[in-house]
Structure 1
Amino acid sequence: MPVRHISTGSPFEAQIGYSRAVVVDGWVFVAGTTGYDYTQMQMPDGVAAQCRNALATISKALQDAGSSLDHVVRVNYIVSDAEDWPECWPITSAAFAKAKPAATMISAGLQNPEMKIEIEVTARVPA
């Protein structure tokens, strides 16, 4: 089965050398996604807004791959400040209400200081 690469057109993808998502053998691997609004190339200040933006970018990549948030089987959350994480719970709970994927939250420094959350998912393409 061929490998398909999906891009959001983000300048980071070209600068760093990665795809937003890679589709292979019925799987969709979505790269760590931060909260940029790529239509305006702006980063919101709050972690909740960043979480929503990241999930919207991920959702679009999954749709382009023939999948959706409902088919996510694994999610990794990376937050720069663990105390911010509870603000995201209602957002992530709603986004993954159907999928209920296996999940991990890690607290670590992110690439830029304004980044408060990065989300990475693995999903299936439904048969």
Structure 2
Amino acid sequence: MTRRLVSTGSPFEARIGYSRAVVCDGWVFVAGTTGYDYSTMIMPERIEEQCANALKTIERALREAGAGLDDVVRIRYILPDAADWPACWPITSTAFARARPAATMIVAGLQEQEMRIEIEVTARIPGA
């Protein structure tokens, strides 16, 4: 079994004790990712911006692992408020237009009040 850890440099990774992604035997498991802009550590207010930021962070982690958004096979969206979910559809449908992964949306509380979405994905590295 081969195992490699991917970090985005988020202060939460070290503080809480997790990796942004774990690459194992051709699979990439990306941790729940919220909408922070990690270059500024600012969380936008709008759900659309948080969703887009989370997907950018996920895409960077996947790229470092040797995969991309088109390689995602499973995705979980977690939102505190189900009413926010439709605003994300144009963003998620564009990001996953080719992959069309199996997906689930769950309503649950998130770590911080300002967090309006968390996204977790599993991808398969091409050729693995």
Establish whether TM, by shorter chain, passes 0.5: yes
Cα deviation digits, residues 45-96 of structure 1 (max 9, x gap):
0110000000000000000000000000000000110000000000000000
Is the partner of 1:39 in helix, strand or coil?
A: coil
Letter in 2 for 1:96: F
Q: How does 1:1-127 map to 2 (within 5 A)?
A: 1-127=1-127
TM-score, scaled relative to structure 1: 0.99
d(CA) in 2 for partners of 1:46, 1:80 = 14
Task: List 4+ stretches of structure 1 deviating above 6 A.
Answer: none
CA RMSD of aligned residues (A): 0.4
The alignment of Structure 1 onto Structure 2 pairs a total of residues equal to: 127
Is the partner of 1:53 in helix, strand or coil?
A: helix
d(CA) in 2 for partners of 1:37, 1:80 = 20
Q: Identify unmatched segments of 5+ residues in structure 2.
A: none
Letter in 2 for 1:123: A
Q: Identify unmatched segments of 5+ residues in structure 1.
A: none
